[in-house]
Structure 1
Amino acid sequence: MSLRLKIVTPERVAYDGDIVSVSVPGSSGSFEILENHAPIISALDPGTVEYTTAGGKQEIHISGGFVEVKKNEVSLCVEL
């Protein structure tokens, strides 16, 4: 796995590690990010972020935020 996910909230780092994929609630609809995804910055609506690690699926509920993808690094700045 060479896709890295970092989920940051105002209080803490909620997750920082390698993943297979992540699905986010984009402002124009949910979308999935896989390895070698094109660079993107998008607003996030309230909903569920689902990410798959080597250990299985995880999810976190958010009330909004932003996602940035560049060079196989996914950064989520969210409010829970």
Structure 2
Amino acid sequence: MLKLKIVSPQKIEFEGDVQSVLVPGVLGQFEILTNHAPIISALTEGTVVYAKSDGVKSQLAVAGGFVEVQKNEVALCVELNA
């Protein structure tokens, strides 16, 4: 299980446990799963998709931002699409 926190300039968009996170990296989409290697990456315009602990998938359209993964904690700092 991963702990995900998505922050935009307006508010905390989501905070909770998830099974996986799919993000739009600048070199293409990539998925973050439990025990992912530590990483910091820039994000481009696209959709963040995360599967909550109950298996329900949610989406968030982003204009860009950054992702940091460390010890099963995923932090996304994003700018939302208007």
Could you list the runs of 5+ residues in structure 1 that have no partner in the other structure?
none
| Identity value in percent | 61
Question: Where do 1:1-80 residues align within 5 Å?
Answer: 2-53=1-52, 54-80=54-80
In the TM superposition, residue 19 of structure 1 has moved relative to its aligned partner by 0.1
Could you list the runs of 5+ residues in structure 2 that have no partner in the other structure?
none
Q: State the number of aligned residues.
A: 79
Greater than 2 Å deviation, 4+ residue runs: none
Letter in 2 for 1:78: V
Deviations 1:3-48, CA, capped at 9 Å, x for gaps:
1000000010000000000000000100000000000000000000
Q: 1: distance between equivalents of 2:30 and 2:55?
A: 22
C-alpha RMSD of matched pairs (Å): 0.7
SS at match of 1:38: coil
